[in-house]
Amino acid sequence: MTTNTISHHSALHTRQSTMQSLSIAIFCSAAQNLSTSHYEQTKLLGRWIGEQRWRLVYGGASLGLMECVARAAKEAGGIVAGVVPDKLVERGIVSTLLDENIPVHSLGERKEMMLRESDLFIALPGGLGTLDEIFHVLGESSIGYHSKPVVLYNIDGCWDSLLNMLDDLRAQGLLRHDLSELLVVANSLEDIKNFIKTMRG
């Protein structure tokens, strides 16, 4: 399918006109030297999203877990929307799998666009960029800008150290909000399926 480059307003129109019942943002690594397990679990998640005919929203890169989840979702029948900053275009690493190419100028704009375009967020293994995205969404939620949930997909315990850090901050009284209202930890794809089922009522 030919990639469509679209504005924010036309992206929203496309989202509505495709009749997709759920848009799921994926935060994840573009690194390529990750474990086989990371790729396998990412592929299973992407395939499941595609099988539901849902819309996957992600950072648009053609590398690592980003490309893996997008390919799995697309091959299974999902719609793949990439929010693509200028730097990815300059470096020639924009995925060819995109059904929707939503251009932005910066990583800051990408975070805001993904927040607008998505109903919930799933964080797979990732580095600084993924952490930035997670905390951007959580921070905005904590002061009332939205109530969209963030799911940490704890593949092979990848988020254990982050969860320990958050527990430590809570113990010190540095977190004003109950993170259980904002953040969900999933240790398996079944956990994610069950959470989404509960979320949708």
From CA 194, how far away is CA 25, in angstroms rounded?
Answer: 17
Give the residues across from 24 on adjacent strands: 56, 120
CATH number at 51 reads: 3.40.50.450
DSSP 1-67: ---EE--HHHHHHHHHHTT-S-EEEEE----S---HHHHHHHHHHHHHHHHTT-EEEE--BSSHHHH
Whether this prediction's pTM lies above 0.85 is answered by yes
From CA 77, how far away is CA 100, in angstroms rounded?
Answer: 14
Res 15 pLDDT > 50: no
| Domain range for 20 | 4-199
- Give the number of domains in the chain: 1
Mean pLDDT of 35-49: 97
Q: Which of 12, 22, 21 is nearest to 102 (CA)?
A: 12
Model confidence pLDDT, tens digit, residues 124-144:
999 999 999 999 999 998 888
